[in-house]
Amino acid sequence: MRLTHKLILIPMLMLLLFPLALAHGEEGNSAGSNIVLTPADQMILDRIDNLGKNLNNRIDNLWITMLGGFLGVMAFIGAIVFWDRRTYLKLAREEFRNEISDDRKKLNAMLAAMKKLANQFPEVSEVLRNFGLL
């Protein structure tokens, strides 16, 4: 059967069987009203009710514990990502400073060479003066 046929068949069966279940339940209620419970039976039923309440409290506590654990793990992952980003940026800054310091040394050496050339060539001297380097 295709999936659509199954999806249609299930609600139809439920509609047919639901009235039968209600009728059966009504018969059970009429017979159940004549039952008298002994104190021991009543105590057993009370214990079952209390057990259900305790089980709900345990499930609630488990849910809160799981939620807290999940949030703790997410916070830990976030802290690691932030710390890793910070250390990565620190290393990137150091590499950038090293690269710039090498370039600055080359630039100062080129400027010193051009100043020496300015003593021999007046055109170079004029260009350096126009750019405020002499």
**Is the model more confident about 11 or about 105?**
105
Model confidence over 23-73: pLDDT tens digits?
A: 655 544 455 567 888 888 888 888 888 776 767 777 778 888 999 999 999
Given this model, what pLDDT does residue 1 score? 56
SS3 annotation, the chain: CCHHHHHHHHHHHHHHHHHHHHHHHHHHHHHHCCCCCCHHHHHHHHHHHHHHHHHHHHHHHHHHHHHHHHHHHHHHHHHHHHHHHHHHHHHHHHHHHHHHHHHHHHHHHHHHHHHHHHHHCHHHHHHHHHCCCC
Given this model, what pLDDT does residue 75 score? 94
Model confidence over 92-127: pLDDT tens digits?
A: 888 888 888 888 888 888 889 988 988 898 888 888
Given this model, what pLDDT does residue 4 score? 63
